[in-house]
């Protein structure tokens, strides 16, 4: 029987940050005198497959995915713009100047997005309202009330109610809007 001595954990003689002749440069972390490569991976959401009870349910899921993919960029942009406007409005002390600023913002948004948003279907508009609430934390009723006033908000809420929608409805990812949430996760992770 022979005894063999081995020193596997000796520190390398070369700099660990020097890129190798072939391969990929990566970060390293030393834990208990052991060098470990650190690689950041994209998040991958894994869901069980829906068990569609009817073909209609499958069609609804397919339609929801397509609608979310179309309107989600608008929701992200709307949330960013609302945040930007809120910040700017806080810096304006005069009420008259605030109203002028809001009018200017509304005209800019109208000229930039009106044609595209008019082409949305009713179901896409409903999903957009939900996603704006998801991204900004404000219902579309609150947004309209802030930008256009309480009377305009009430008027548009009445119109929405006539068509079976509610601008005051909040986003509920766990129950009511679970299909929308799953579709958003797929879009965010690049899986759809």
How does pLDDT run across 15-69, given as a tens digit for each residue? 555 555 666 777 888 888 888 888 888 777 676 667 788 889 889 888 999 999 9
pLDDT at 20: 56
Examine residue 162 and state whether it is found in any structural domain, yes or no: yes
Q: Which residues contact 171 (CB under 8 A, 6 or more apart)?
A: 130, 131, 133, 134, 177, 180
pLDDT at 87: 87
Length of the chain: 192
Examine residue 112 and state whether it is found in any structural domain, yes or no: no
When divided into structural domains, the chain yields a total of 1
pLDDT at 139: 87
Examine residue 145 and state whether it is found in any structural domain, yes or no: yes
pLDDT at 18: 56
For residue 142, give its domain range.
55-103+119-188
Examine residue 9 and state whether it is found in any structural domain, yes or no: no
Examine residue 128 and state whether it is found in any structural domain, yes or no: yes
Examine residue 10 and state whether it is found in any structural domain, yes or no: no
pLDDT at 13: 47
With contact defined as beta carbons under 8 Å apart, do 173 and 181 qualify? yes
With contact defined as beta carbons under 8 Å apart, do 26 and 33 qualify? no
Token pair of 171 as six digits: 């986003």
Q: DSSP label at 32?
A: T
Question: CA–CA separation, 107 vs 89, rounded Å?
Answer: 16
Pick out the chain residues at pLDDT < 70. 1-23, 45, 47-49
pLDDT at 23: 67
Taking the CA atoms of 144, 147, 153 and 159 in sequence, report the sign of the dihedral they define: negative
pLDDT at 1: 47
Question: CA–CA separation, 12 vs 98, rounded Å?
Answer: 64
Examine residue 144 and state whether it is found in any structural domain, yes or no: yes
Question: CA–CA separation, 156 vs 166, rounded Å?
Answer: 10
pLDDT at 3: 52
Question: CA–CA separation, 192 vs 185, rounded Å?
Answer: 9
Examine residue 41 and state whether it is found in any structural domain, yes or no: no
Question: CA–CA separation, 109 vs 132, rounded Å?
Answer: 15
């Amino acid at each position: 029987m022979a005894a063999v001595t081995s020193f596997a954990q000796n520190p390398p003689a070369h700099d660990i940050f020097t890129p190798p002749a072939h391969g990929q440069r990566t970060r390293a972390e030393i834990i208990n005198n052991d060098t470990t490569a650190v690689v950041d991976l994209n998040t991958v959401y894994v869901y069980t497959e829906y068990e569609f009870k009817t073909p209609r349910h499958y069609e609804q899921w397919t339609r929801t995915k397509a609608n979310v993919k179309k309107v989600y960029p608008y929701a992200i942009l709307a949330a960013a713009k609302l945040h930007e406007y809120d910040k700017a409005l806080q810096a304006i002390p005069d009420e008259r100047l605030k109203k002028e600023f809001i009018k200017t913002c509304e005209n800019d948004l109208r000229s930039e997005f009106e044609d595209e948003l008019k082409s949305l279907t009713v179901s896409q508009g409903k999903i957009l309202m939900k996603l704006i609430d998801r991204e900004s934390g404000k219902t579309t009723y609150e947004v309209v009330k802030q930008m256009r006033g309480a009377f305009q908000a009430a008027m548009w809420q009445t119109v929405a109610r006539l068509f079976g929608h509610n601008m005051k409805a909040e986003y509920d990812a766990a129950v009511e809007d679970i299909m929308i949430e799953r579709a958003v996760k797929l879009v965010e992770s690049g899986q759809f």
